[in-house]
Amino acid sequence: MLCARVGAELRVIPLNPDGTLQLDVVPGLFDPRTRLLAITEVSNVLGTENPLAALIALAHQHGAKVLVDGAQAVMHHPVDVQALGCDFYVFSAHKLYGPTGIGVLYARSELLQTMAPWEGGGSMIATVSLTEGTTWNQAPWRFEAGTPNTGGIIGLGAALTYVSQLGLTQIAEYEQTLMRYALDALRAVPDLILYGPAQRKGVIAFNLGQHHAYDVGSFLDNYGIAVRTGHHCAMPLMARYQVPAMCRASLAMYNTTEEVDRLVAGLQRIRKLLG
């Protein structure tokens, strides 16, 4: 949408068969006109964790700014935007166990001071004059137009406090142990196709033989097992793997090995029913 609006060229980093980035191709995608590298920290479909530090450094060498989508990362491990060196970092609250309808934009201070507001409303102005025009408030207030989402802010704050008290390092260690257990168990299911790299965060994408993901997901739902089915807001990725859809199981700090066993048993049962 942005490219269509401003006439920019979109270049996409190609993937290896396991869903990791083809890093040897990346330098050739930059030229003097490159303005922005927008990249996800962790894939919401494959769980791939991208090597951000190297990519950010490369982008900065070419004079490009870097925006990192951390929506699928912030609940799985500690994030230090200063250490990453990114210019922008964004994430949503609902994937951090918070409410819907609110998110976070981090930007380097010097960039915030030069950015124009994207929306008008109360609290984002400093002065208004019929003869001398309008001046904007200081950042970050100039980007918070109108009545704030007070309930969402409180909910996000509570979610951040909760996760911080549990400890993201401890959460990461537990989830990675659970992920290894789940991958080992799922590999034992005949005809199950796993997508993505061996090392991943948070999610497992799969299909069961030639059965449509919607059918598999419906059966699992009847067994009391919740997975997401569809293209996961990633149609180009489905095209890359030449499938109409995938099932996705998400592992979080509250999941257990017993629940993984129920998923595996459910898939075994579906395989027998559908053949």
Query: Could you give the CA distance from residue 248 to residue 229 in angstroms, rounded to a whole number?
Result: 6
Amino acid at site 45: V
The catalytic residue among 3, 86, 233, 247 is: 233
Amino acid at site 126: A
Helix axes 213-222, 257-274, angle to 10 degrees: 120
Angle at CA 230, nearest 5°, toward 9 and 70? 55
Residue 8 CA, distance from chain mean position? 24
**How many Cβ atoms sit within 10 Å of the Cβ of residue 202?**
23
CB-side exposure of 124: number of CA atoms within 13 Å?
A: 15
Residue 233 is among the residues annotated as catalytic for this protein:
yes
Query: Could you give the CA distance from residue 89 to residue 69 in angstroms, rounded to a whole number?
Result: 6
Enzyme catalytic residues: 233
